[in-house]
Every structure is written in C-alpha cells, then in structure tokens.
Amino acid sequence: MAIHYGNSTSQKGLIADLWRYTAAHQGNTLLTANNWERADTYSPGIVGGINNSSGTFSFSETGIYYISFTAYLYINNTTSKSQRCSANIRITTDNSNYGHAASVPCHFGGGGYSTGLNTDNSASCEYLLDVTETTNTKVRFECGMGQGFEYVGGWSGGNTTYAYFQKVGDT
C-alpha cells in the first residue's frame, strides 16, 4: 500500500469511508435497510472503497481495516426503569454467520430524567479486521436494547450514529 502525501491528488492505496445512519429505531436491531448514507455534509474528505447493501458493508480490496462504530442511544418517556444498551460490530468471513467482533455497553442508571424529554447516551467500539478476501467478508452494525424505552438515533445532517472505515495496511 502506498500513500503519497507529496502529491495532493494521489490517493493510491487509501481507503477511508464514513457512513451515517439516518433514522431512529426502537429496540434491538441490526442497523440494516436503506437508512445508511455516505457522509455528505461539511466536506467530509471521503475517499470511498467500502460498499453498502442494506446495512451490510463489504470491502473493495483486501487489507487490514480499522473499523469504528458509534451509536447515539437514548431513552424516551420513562423515569423509573434502569436501562442498558450496547453498540456492536458484527463480522462474517463466510457471508452467512455473523459473530460479535466488538461490543460496548452504556447504562442509563435509574432511568430517564423526564417523561417529556429524551435521556441521551452514546457507545463506541472499534475493531481491526484483516480482510483476506472480499467476497465473503462483511460487516454489520447492531444496537442491543431490552427494556422497551431505548432508541438508536440517526440524522442525515451530521454524525450521530455512524461507522468509519480506514485501510491501515496490506494483508
């Protein structure tokens, strides 16, 4: 892999891609469907290289990739229940069976602060993935929730729930 910073027009070997989730969803969910968009506001400096098909992300070339996932999580309309959510990176190398590669919880303690306002939190996790072939290696993102008042939030105007991919080396 070669990155030539002396020539500002050269991006050979560089893959950097930022995708954001644009909808809100309640409860446990794989963040699929057509609610992902490549970041497009405030000149994000995206080179591309990651493909998205209904929330399943694939790679255009082999290599070692840094993957980061941040989820904006909130609870709504409750003050009494303790809530726990998680952000998860799920990976398959056989195009079928997805396992949890990274997971991080967040906790809302004794519940929300108000029945009329959201109580906000976030969770982020990271993973280094060695992509040795591009046909069967794929990534999905998931939010785990369980009490009934939890939501994952998205927005098309900025990064609230988002995934970042960067190729950091050859395999």
pLDDT in tens, 82-106: 678 899 999 999 999 999 999 999 8
Q: What is the mean pLDDT of the chain?
A: 86
Contact residues for 97 (Cβ-Cβ < 8 A; gap 6+):
none
49-77 residues labelled b (16+ CB within 10 A) or e (exposed): bbebeebbbbbeeebbbebbbbbbbbbbe
- The 3-state DSSP class for residue 43 equals coil
Burial of 109 (0-12, 13-18, 19+ CB in 10 A): exposed
DSSP, res 48: B
pLDDT of residue 120: 83
pLDDT of residue 128: 98
Q: How far apart are CA 127 and CA 90, in angstroms?
A: 10
Q: How far apart are CA 101 and CA 69, in angstroms?
A: 12
- pLDDT tens for 147-171 read 677 889 999 999 999 999 999 999 8
Structure tokens at 84: 């726990």
| Cβ neighbour number for residue 47 with a 10 Å cutoff | 14
Using pLDDT thresholds of 50, 70 and 90, give the confidence band for residue 139: very high
Using pLDDT thresholds of 50, 70 and 90, give the confidence band for residue 32: confident
- pLDDT tens for 57-85 read 999 999 999 999 999 998 876 666 667 88
| Cβ neighbour number for residue 13 with a 10 Å cutoff | 16
Using pLDDT thresholds of 50, 70 and 90, give the confidence band for residue 47: confident
Q: How far apart are CA 43 and CA 76, in angstroms?
A: 33
- Please give the domain boundaries of the chain with CATH numbers for all domains: 16-169 (2.60.120.40)
